[in-house]
Amino acid sequence: MPLFAVLFAAQATGAALPAPDCQLVPGWTQQGEARTFEPETLFDYMDGNSEGYLSYGFLLMKGVTCVDGAGDQLVLDVSEMGDADHAWGLFVANRDLRSPDEALGAAGQVLPRRVTFAKGRYYVEIAASPDKDHTPALRAFAAALEPRLAGRTTPPPAVAWFPTDGLEKGSVRLVPQSVLGLRMLTTGFVAQYPQGRAFVVSAASPEAAGATFQKLRARFAGAAAVAGLADEAFTATDAYLGGIVVFRKRERVAGVANVKPGEDAAALAHRLVATLP
């Protein structure tokens, strides 16, 4: 089991992962055996798609296939992730950006052949076949399954840390590894603005955040200190990240990257400082 999965498993609390059940909705019966997958065996089921799940701290999946008398089929999979933030993050990573989200768990989406949602540390996907509109059946199963899952029904608190002025709709997401492509920023949230990408990475303590901040500053040649922005801050220019402003506010390292020439990154950075708890 990967180290991050071991750590998540040690932190997991609450009720056991409930198995999906075809009898949740009348008229449906189970086809074949129920499925259970752990990190070591998920590839057997999902092939290359397993890497996305594993990056968000996947711990366990239980699934079942259901059929009705008309020959329709639903494939139900419920996954337990490391925590509620990562379950939400997996939903955001997999959602259809062309379609609206719905009030289902912490976040959800219903499409003609697929429903996905996150609630607590659980991520649910129900896929339907053949190729037609299965919305009524998908909604029925989602409505029956959602109350059986324990946990938070709101997005991560970090979503509210980003200033709303200029925020690109639906752009806040959780990056589970290497925020901005920098390994020292292990896990954090990013959001898109006209000025560039804002990011927030939380550490265990102000001291740990300070160590990360100093490593970041050493990473960028020509970094210049910025006074009065937060506990400490610098600005720099990078071949990949463009203009960048980085600051530390208590236990959080945050800032703005990919700033285009002529854009006012400092103004966005000041607004981000103000909204961070």
Structure tokens at 138: 């998908």
Beta-carbon contacts of 244 under 8 Å, excluding residues fewer than 6 positions away, are 220, 235, 236, 237, 238, 255, 256, 257, 258, 259, 265
Beta-carbon contacts of 258 under 8 Å, excluding residues fewer than 6 positions away, are 196, 197, 241, 242, 243, 244
Write out pLDDT tens, residues 127-181. 999 999 999 999 999 999 999 999 999 999 999 999 999 999 999 999 999 999 9
**Whether residue 265 has pLDDT greater than 90:** no
Q: Tell me which amino acid residue 263 is.
A: E
Helix count and strand count (H, E) for the chain: 7, 13
**Neighbour-count burial of 127, counting CB atoms closer than 10 A to its CB (0-12 exposed, 13-18 middle, 19+ buried):** middle
Structural domains in the chain, sorted by start: 3-148 (3.40.1000), 157-275 (3.40.1000.20)
First-to-last C-alpha distance (Å) of the chain? 35
Provide the pLDDT for residue 142.
97
N residues, the chain: 277
Is the Cα dihedral 106, 110, 111, 117 positive or negative? Answer: positive
Provide the pLDDT for residue 245.
96
Structure tokens at 166: 């200029």
Write out pLDDT tens, residues 174-230. 999 999 999 999 999 999 999 999 999 999 999 999 999 999 999 999 999 999 999
Q: Is the pTM of this model over 0.75?
A: yes
Q: Which of 111, 136, 108 is nearest to 124 (CA)?
A: 108
CA gap 266, 210 in Å, rounded? 20
CB atoms within 10 A of CB 217: 17
Contact between 129 and 112 (Cβ < 8 Å): no
pLDDT > 70 in the chain, percent: 95
Span 248-277, mean pLDDT? Answer: 93
Contact between 82 and 56 (Cβ < 8 Å): yes
**Whether residue 11 has pLDDT greater than 70:** no
Q: Where are the alpha helices (DSSP H) in 120-201?
A: 135-145
Beta-carbon contacts of 77 under 8 Å, excluding residues fewer than 6 positions away, are 20, 35, 61, 62, 63, 124, 125, 126
**Whether residue 268 has pLDDT greater than 90:** yes
3-state class of 259 per DSSP? strand
Q: What is the overall mean pLDDT for the chain?
A: 93
